[in-house]
Structures are given as structure tokens and as C-alpha cells.
Structure 1
Amino acid sequence: MSWMTGSKHAMIRRLIPWVLMTNIMLVLHSLSYTNQVTIRVSQEETCALSVSKSLQQSKAMLSPSSKSEECSPKGNIMFMKTHKTASSTILNILFRFGEKHKLRFAFPDGRNDFFYPSPFLCSQVKDYEPGECFNIVCNHMRFHQEEVAKLLHPDAVYVTILRNPADLFESAFHYYHRAVPLTWGISGENKLAGFLNNPGAFYSPEAFNSFYLKNLQFFDFGFDNNLDADDPQIDAGIQYLSSHFHLVLIAEHFEESLILLKDLLCWSMEDILYFKLNVRKSSFVSQLDPEMRAKALQWNWADWKLYQHFNATFWVRVEAYGRERMKRDVKELRRRNAEMKAICIQGKNAVEPRDIKNSRFLPWQPIGEKSILGYNLRQDIDPKFRTICEKMLTPEIQYLSDLGVNLWITRLWGWLKDKIY
């Protein structure tokens, strides 16, 4: 009986942070919702309308025939940040470019996402006023195109990234399953296999945080993640995204994706240099055998259809870019990244959280474990590279703070998480 008592105590202990955090978030959501309604009632002005009025009033507006055809860097960007897709690395690239060129970010207020998983609203943006224009929107949200468009210039480029749903499910399950109470009852060491062998026993659409464990990418884009595999709404959703996004990156072909992004935005190779951020320690990664991979794809059918569609369009873009040209550019990107690793990183590789010497470079860790790797800055770094190296190594939470975002809700949750687990 003692083991049963201990098990009950452990369960109660695990529930405490979620009870606390849920109540805190409900209060905050209620307060923020009141503000959102007030703003939306009178919201007639949008960024696009403001820009249109400005152009009409400008006597210096160029005629189409006199505009330069030369490619110039684009700075009006919507990056739809999806979960567990290497999107944090893209975020760092955008932060650096925007900071360098003094662009205006639409940031959340109090936390690092736009009140996810609630659908995005303009009023969730820090210092938002109707008619305000922003250059870059890139933090986690549940996509709502009509609301996002109100913030951005009409020429904004829409970009996102997808990952093979089997690998994404494996990553999301390990990262979030402690935040999904229904999974706590899975027995055995291989909880992922236990879930996939009988998902109905550990999943309910209405359960707390259940969206993390089924069609997470489809959910991130604002769609119903519990549709039947043959539901026509899945194809309709895919076509909707096709009509609104200018480029969909593929995580498994990250370097090729960055080259296409560079070409689309007319950026330089220097602008897309990167270090992989939020990478898990290999011992925490489950290798899916063919049976488990097939079950993961069947369970995440909407994500699989989404991925197949945009993986196909991705390779059409690569062909149009030129295979040989792509090979040359990827080779150059790898060379430049290797140079930056040698310049910036102590030991040239990522290390475990306990070995990170400066908390500035310590990534956010999932509940109950320290599995996300980070970096140490070289101690003998050349002073002329210190600033760029520090920025390339800085995780999302710390970079947002550097950019002036008040993350008190995120930090409160981090404090609770670390104290209780």
C-alpha cells in the first residue's frame, strides 16, 4: 500500500504547477480579453490602409516604370513559427537581421508567445494601436491570417517551416508529454510506443494541452487538428495556406531552405549564417522503427498531408533555383558556418546544460529534464567578432529580453517549473 500512497503523492505533486499556472493564465486571459474587445470594436484602421493613405498623399511616389528593378533586401516578413521544426534557429536569424536594420518587431507582451494556443489577435501585440505598422512578426502563435495582415505592409513576405510529422511527433511527445496529464498513466519505459499502440486511451480532444500530441502543425496554422483523415477541410486548409505563404521551408533540408529564403528576401549569405539552437541531447531522441513511424503518420494524418504537399512544392522551387547552383550555395553556407563555429564556439560543438558556463546561453528546458543543448562562447574570442557571436549563440528567451520584451509571465512559469520539478 505504501507504493500506492507514494504514487498518489507523486501525481498530486505533478498537478500542483498546472493548477497554479492554469489559474494564473485564466486571470491574465480574462484581463487581456477585455482589452482586446475594446480595441477591436473601434478597429477600422489597419497597417495596409495607413500605408495606402500615406502613398496617396505622397507627391514623391514613383511610377511603376521608374522603379528600380534591382533586387533589394526585404524587411517586411511574417514568419509563422511552428513547434519543434528548427524554427528557433530561424527566429535567431530574423532577430539579428531586424536588430541590425532597426526594423520594428510585433512582439507579445509579458510572455514569449501570442497567448498560444488561443488564436492570434492584434491586441496581443505589445504597444499595438489600430493602424500601427510592423516589419516583422515571428513569435509563436496560433495563426489567424486576417489579424496578422492588419499589422503588416501589403508587400510582406509570408514564410513558415514544416517537419516530417513522424519525427515532429517524437520530438513533441518527449518535450510536452509531461504537460499533458492524460499521458501520465502510460506504463513502461517506452511511453511513446505505449501511446502510439493505443492513442485513444491517452488522448481526448478536450483534454488539457492535448493539441501538442496530434497534428500539431495543422493546429498551429489555426485548423482543427482532430479532423478525420478523409475530411475535405484538410485539403481546403492546405490550399488556403498555399495561397497565403510565399515560401514553406522544410526542416529536413534546412540549408537548402535557407538558400531559398535568402533568394526570396534578397539577403546576403552573411544574413543567414546560423548555429543550431534548441537541439536535444541524442540520448533523449527515440529512434522510431518502421512500425512506430507508420503509426505516428497515421495518427498525424492531417500533418502528413500538409507535409507531403509542401515538400513537393519545395522541390519544385529547388528545381527552379537550379540544382547545381543550390549545391554551390549550400557548400558556401556550410563553409561560412564552419568558420563562425571556429571563431565563436568553445570546443566548436554544443554541450549539455550543466556544462554551459554563462546562463545567457542556457536554453529553456522542458519540464522535468535537462535535455536541450547549448553553447559556450570562446574565452579567447577576437573582440571584433564578440557581438555577432554572442547574438548567434543567444537562445530565444534571452534574445527577446535583449530586444526589450517583458517576459514576466514566461519567467514566472520557468521559476515554478524549476522549483517544483
Structure 2
Amino acid sequence: MAHRFHRMEYNHHLSEVGLTLKGCLVLVMGRRYKSIARGLAVGTLLTSYMLVLYCLSTPAVKQKFRVALSCSNQRLVHSSTHTSQNRTGPSGECEPKVDIMFMKTHKTASSTLLNILFRFGDKHRLEFAFPDGRNDFFYPSPFLCSQVKNYQPGACFNILCNHMRFNEYEVAKLLPADAAYITILRDPAELFESSFHYFRWAIPLTWGIRGETKLTEFLRDPRSYYSPESYNSFYLKNLLFFDFGLDNNLEPEHPLVERGIQSLTNRFNLVLMAEYFEESLILLKDTLCWTMEDLLFFKLNARKHSSVSRLTPELRAKALEWNGADWRLYQHFNTTFWAKVEVYGRTRMEQEVRELRKKNAEMAAICIEGGVAVDARMIWNRDLVPWQPVGESSILGYNLRKNIDPKYRELCRKMLTPEIQYMSELGVNLWLTQLWGWVKDTIS
């Protein structure tokens, strides 16, 4: 009996211990989940706060453009030999253009081209028209001169090149009448794939999509997921048309689509093609009367291969149909692009492209550790880490070699410097962009 009593007492004690341990475990897990929930709540509140702050910093502007007087043709005085605008010099050679409007479109290799423009303007001490507080001109609001840092009526600039929603009449106020207007396009199907994934956390329309992949499911029946009035919906349909200040919800056969294309044809001196980037740069060199050294580049803001969805022929056809206005725009300027190549000369173009590739390969061997792009987490110098989308680290960057010939060190560093860091170096106070970046990285 005594033995049975002691065993019952022992079992009761174990039961109490078990209940105590279970209670502790529940308490610990409860605290852990509360901590996670609290973190999510704080992250959500911070994100909401930043989105509101970012949106409030973007003035609510109705799409009503006023015809404005052009910028004065009195040129800025520079301590540079590049002070004239492609005029013929005493030797009979043209002189470089320094007054440039680059319409930076989304997901089109435009960040690489921006670095080329930054370096050219930096080298020749040109005047940039930069945004104030952030790295874009209050996109997606239509561009206004008042968004330019230190803008005063009548002010004249050399280079305007950051993301904006194009407004021709406001842009014309800032640049001389003979400024070169340049932009770049990309195959709309590939652009749609890139935009869909890169901006997915900023597009509420995509958050509830189910299926094998969100992209595939969306393209299966786009109209069941899309609403023109939804927040950031423009990232999902005819993004190029939207960037150029046009109506991105027009059907491709609408007369306003053709009218918009013709308006851009009349305005832009050169439209580059992302798929033929090196050929595009050679045409740019010819248009601006630049040198081959001005065109040197490393591919910036490239995505990891693992983050890219390969489009099947069926998905590509659906993407082009859904982005029909962009497809008409692209086809038109693809035709004009190759017409310019024919005028330039196919053989001459091939020779120039080979030379550019050779020089870029030489610079890669001089500047880049390992010679290739790496995951952002593998970059030693945080000043060279590119901006990442919310919730992931999919944009590649580079490591600067440690033992570089001093005569190349500064050029190498600038060629590898991402947009945000380069703008800061050029004197732009990016407090809002940097604050949002801190919140984004904290909650990711």
C-alpha cells in the first residue's frame, strides 16, 4: 500500500511538473507570438506612416498642362571646354552637347544610362535639375518645375534625368530650346514581368492573387484583378505610356494612342532600345557628339536570375495583348531605331559596338572584384549596395577591387556607385528616400 501510495504521489508530482512545464511553454510561446505580432504591428504602422508621408509629399496635381515659355537660351558659364551645343568648332569637328533631357523610364536599363549621365555632368561641372528630398520628381504626379531643387522662374539647367511622369511643357521651362531629348524603351512583355515582380509589394491589386505563380494567374484573366482606380495600378498596365504622361488605360486602337506616339516622335531626338543597349549608346554618342570614353558602363540594377520569371510564348502573347498601347509604342520606335542604325551604317555600328565591349571588359577587369556582379549581401562597401525592393534582396551589385591603379580608382568607384548614393554625392538631400529605405530595410 505504501509503495502504491508513493507511486501515486510520484505520478501526481510528475503531472504537476508537466503542467508547470506546459504552462511555461505556453507562456513563452505566447510571449514569442505577442512579440512577433507586436513587431508586425509596428512594421505595418511604420510602413503605413511612410506611405502616407511619401504620398503627402507628392502634391495632388490634376493632369492639366499649361503651355509655358522656354528656358532662356543664355547658356550657363562652365569651367569646362564643353560649353557649346554640338556646333562645329575651328577644327571642323562637332562639339559635345551638354543640354540634355533624359526621360528615365521604369525597368528599362535606365539606371545604367543615368550613371553615364551623372559621370558626364559631374566631370564637366554641368548643372543638374534634381528633385528635392527624394530621388524622383514626386512620381506618379505629373512633373512640375516647382519640384526641382532650388528652382526659380527663369532658371536654366543642363541635365534633367530623374524619374518623372513626363510633362513636356513644364520640362521645356528648364532647358534651352535646342536641348537633346533622349529616352529608352524595353520590350513591353519583359518590362511587364519585371515591373510585376519588382513593385509587387507596392501594388495592393496583386496581394490576394492565388495560383501557381501570381504573374501567370494575373495574365490568365487580367481584368478580374485590375482596376484603373486602384492604388499604384499603373505599374500593371502600359507603364511606358503612363511614364510619358499618357493615358495607360487606352485600348491600342484608340486614336489617342497614335496621337501620343506621334507627339513623342516629334519631341524626342533619340529613343534607345534596352535590348540593343550598346547599339543605342553608339547612336547616343553620334547624336551628342560624345567620345567612347563617355559611354563606358557596368550594368546596374540587374536582377538575380532566380527572381526572373521566364515568359512562355503564350504568356508573352498575353502580356503584349494586355499592354497593347506600350506594344504599339515599342514597335513604332523599334522601327525608327533600326532606320537610324541603317543611316549610321551596319558595318560601322558593328565595329563601334566591338570597341565599346572591349573597353568595358577592360574596365571590368580593372575595377570589379571577380569581374562579375554579386548578391547585395556579399558587397563589402555599403556605399555600393543598390536599392532593394521591399521584402527581398534581388538586385545585384559589385565589389570594388582593393588594389586599383590610382589613375582608375575614382572612375571605377563612380561607375559602380548606385543612383541614390551618387545623387547624395552630387549634393542632393534625399532625406525622404533615405527614411523610407531605413523603414523598408528594418521591416524586411
Same fold (TM over 0.5): yes
1:19: which partner in 2? 48
Q: Percent identity?
A: 63
Structure 2 stretches lacking a partner, 5+ long:
1-32, 78-83
Once the two structures are superposed, the pairs formed by residues 353-372 of structure 1 within 5 Å of their partners are 353-372=376-395
User: Per-residue deviation at 1:70?
Assistant: 2.8
- From the superposition, tell whether residues 207 and 12 of structure 1 become closer, same or farther in structure 2 (CA, over 3 Å): farther
In the alignment, structure 1 segments of 5+ residues that lack a partner are 34-39, 55-60
Deviation per residue, 1:281-306 (Å, 9 max, x gap)? 00101100000000000000000000
The equivalent residue for 1:349 is 372
Q: Secondary structure of the equivalent of 2:207?
A: helix
Q: Deviations over 1:100-120 (max 9, x none)?
A: 000000000000000000000
| Contact 1:46/1:132 (8 A) holds in 2 | no
| Paired position in structure 1 for 2:19 | none
Match of 1:301 in 2: 324
Instruction: Determine if the alignment matches structure 1 residue 163 to structure 2 residue 171.
Output: no
Residues 212 and 17 (structure 1), Cα distance of their counterparts in 2 relative to 1, 3 Å cut: farther
The 8 Å contact of residues 45 and 131 in structure 1, kept in 2 or not, is answered as: no
* Corresponding residue for residue 113 of structure 2: 90
The aligned residue for residue 198 of structure 1 is 221
Asked whether the 8 Å contact 2:88–2:95 carries over to 1, the reply is no
Does residue 220 (structure 1) correspond to residue 243 (structure 2)? The answer is: yes
The secondary structure found in structure 2 opposite 1:78 is strand
Q: Is the 8 A contact 1:44 1:130 kept in 2?
A: no
The offset of 1:51, in angstroms, is: 2.8
| Cα distance change of structure 1 residues 401 and 26 upon mapping to structure 2, 3 Å threshold | same
> Residues 317 and 361 of structure 1: is their aligned pair in 2 closer, same or farther, counting only changes over 3 Å?
same
> Structure 1 residues 358, 66: closer, same or farther in 2, change over 3 A?
closer
Q: Distance in 1 between matches of 2:89 and 2:395?
A: 52
Shift in Å at residue 135 of structure 1?
A: 0.2
1:44, 1:194 → 2: CA distance?
45
Distance 1:17 1:314, change over 3 A: farther
Alignment partners' CA distance in 2, 1:225 and 1:14: 33
Alignment check: 8 A CA contact 2:142 2:166 kept: yes
**Alignment-derived partner of residue 122 in structure 1:** 145
The 1:295–1:11 alpha-carbon spacing in structure 2 relative to 1, beyond 3 Å, is farther
For residues 317-336 of structure 1, the C-alpha deviation after alignment (integer angstroms, 9 at most, x for no partner) is 00000000000000000000
Match for residue 273 of structure 2? 250
For the structure 1 residues 80 and 108, does the alpha-carbon distance in structure 2 shift closer, same or farther, using more than 3 Å as the test? same
- Confirm or deny: 8 A CA contact 1:163 1:252 kept in the other structure: yes
| CA separation of 1:51 and 1:281: change in aligned 2, threshold 3 A | same
| Native 8 Å contact 1:165 1:296 kept in 2 | yes
- Displacement, 1:200? 1.6
CA contact (8 A) 1:45 1:130 kept: no
Structure 2 equivalent of residue 151 of structure 1: 174
The answer on whether the counterparts of 1:277 and 1:374 sit within 8 Å (CA) in structure 2 is yes
SS of residue in 2 equivalent to 1:155: coil
Task: Give the alignment of 1:19-418 within 5 angstroms.
Answer: 19-29=48-58, 46-48=70-72, 51=74, 70-418=93-441
- 2: distance between equivalents of 1:21 and 1:166? 31
Question: Max radius of gyration: which structure?
Answer: 2
Does the Cα contact within 8 Å between 2:139 and 2:164 map onto a contact in 1?
A: yes
2:54 maps to a residue whose letter is: M
The superposition leaves residues 105-148 of structure 1 with CA deviations (integer Å, 9 ceiling, x where unpaired) of 00000000000000000000000000000000000000001000
Kindly provide the CA deviation profile for residues 205-236 of structure 1, in whole angstroms up to 9, marking residues without a partner as x: 11111101110001000001001221110000
- Distance (Å, rounded) in 1 between the aligned partners of 2:158 and 2:92: 22
> Residues 346 and 15 of structure 1: is their aligned pair in 2 closer, same or farther, counting only changes over 3 Å?
same
What amino acid sits opposite 2:291 in the alignment? S
State the one-letter code of the partner of 1:121: L
Q: Within 2, Cα distance between the matches of 1:14 and 1:300?
A: 34
AA paired with 1:24?
L
**CA deviations over 1:5-43 (Å, ceiling 9, x no partner):** 99x99997886455312321343335x98xxxxxx99x9
Query: How far off its partner does 1:203 sit?
Result: 1.3
Between the aligned partners of 1:345 and 1:23, the Cα distance in structure 2 is 39
Q: Cα–Cα, structure 1 residues 65 and 298, in superposed 2: closer, same or farther, change >3 Å?
A: closer
**Distance (whole Å) between structure 2 residues aligned to residue 10 and residue 163 of structure 1:** 40
Q: Distance in 2 between matches of 1:253 and 1:17?
A: 41
Tell me what 1:36 maps to.
none
Distance 1:44 1:167 in 2: 36
Q: Which residue of 2 aligns with 1:57?
A: none
* Deviation, structure 1 residue 251: 0.3
**Residues 17, 417 of structure 1: 8 Å contact kept:** no
Distance 2:89 2:216 in 1: 62
CA distance in 2 between counterparts of 1:419 and 1:14 reads 8
Aligned mates of 2:169, 2:140 — CA distance in 1:
17
Question: Does the CA-based 8 Å contact 1:159-1:247 persist in structure 2?
Answer: yes
Please say if residues 47 and 439 of structure 2, whose CA atoms lie closer than 8 Å, have aligned partners that are also in contact: no
What is the aligned-residue RMSD (CA, Å)?
2.7
Q: Secondary structure at the match of 1:158?
A: strand
Task: For residue 65 of structure 1, report the CA deviation from its aligned partner.
Answer: 11
